[in-house]
Amino acid sequence: MSLDRADLIRGLKAVVTLLRERGEPAGIRIIGGAALSLRYFERRTTEDVDAKVHPPESTLEVTAEIATANGWPSDWLNTKADHFIPMSKDVGWESLYVHGAVSIWVASAPALLAMKLRARCCLTRPCACSTRSSRRDCPTFPRNHHGPISGET
């Protein structure tokens, strides 16, 4: 299953519509291929929308309904990659939609590159982030020549 830019826009518009109709607040922060397609350049397709959502319960309930209506997988909008978002560094979120209590944001291009590099690193080397007390303790967490991304040493 793949989603093109038109699918992404249609799906996210439906999310906004349902959340607003129900009076549910929501913040959706999109990363990965969907963010690239929506904000930076036309990408042919992506498998899903990687995002951090708040609150997750009502937002994911709505996205599951949209999945059913469109014949998409129930996790077309998923939170499985949100651990790649830097914890204490401002990623420069850029707004796609803000109205009332519902907002959709995409990460800045530099932050997306850093997250992609970290994801690639975790795919090529064993990563213990999920078992460490913090990502800072993970040996594969991205570092630059000045120290950890978070600014901690």
DSSP assignment string, 56-99? HHHHHHHHHHHHHHHT--TTSEE-TTGGGS-SSS----EEEEEE
At 63 the pLDDT is 96
Q: How confident is the model at residue 114 (pLDDT cuts 50, 70, 90)?
A: confident
Q: Token pair of 135, please?
A: 């990502």
| Predicted pLDDT at 19 | 97
The lowest-confidence range among 7-11, 72-76, 135-139 is: 135-139
Give φ, ψ of 8 to 5 degrees.
-60, -45
Distance CA 17, CA 11 (A): 10
| Exposed e or buried b per residue across 97-108, where buried means at least 16 C-beta atoms within 10 angstroms of its C-beta | eeeeebbbbbbb
* Inter-residue contact 125 to 143 (CB < 8 Å): no
114 vs 124 pLDDT, higher one: 114
Please write the tens of the pLDDT for every residue from 125-149. Answer: 555 455 444 444 444 444 433 333 3
Question: Percentage of residues in the chain with pLDDT exceeding 90?
Answer: 42
Least confident of 22-31, 71-80, 140-149: 140-149
Residue closest to 104 by CA, chosen among 47, 19, 1: 19
Compute the average pLDDT of residues 12-23. Answer: 96
Sign of torsion over alpha carbons 40, 42, 48, 54: positive
> How far is it, in rounded angstroms, from Cα 60 to Cα 52?
11
Handedness of CA 18, 58, 29, 140 (dihedral sign): negative
Average pLDDT of the residues in 84-94: 76
pLDDT top residue among 142 and 40: 40
Torsion angles phi and psi, residue 5, rounded to 5: -60, -40
The pLDDT assigned to 66 comes to 97
Check residue 132 and give its pLDDT: 43
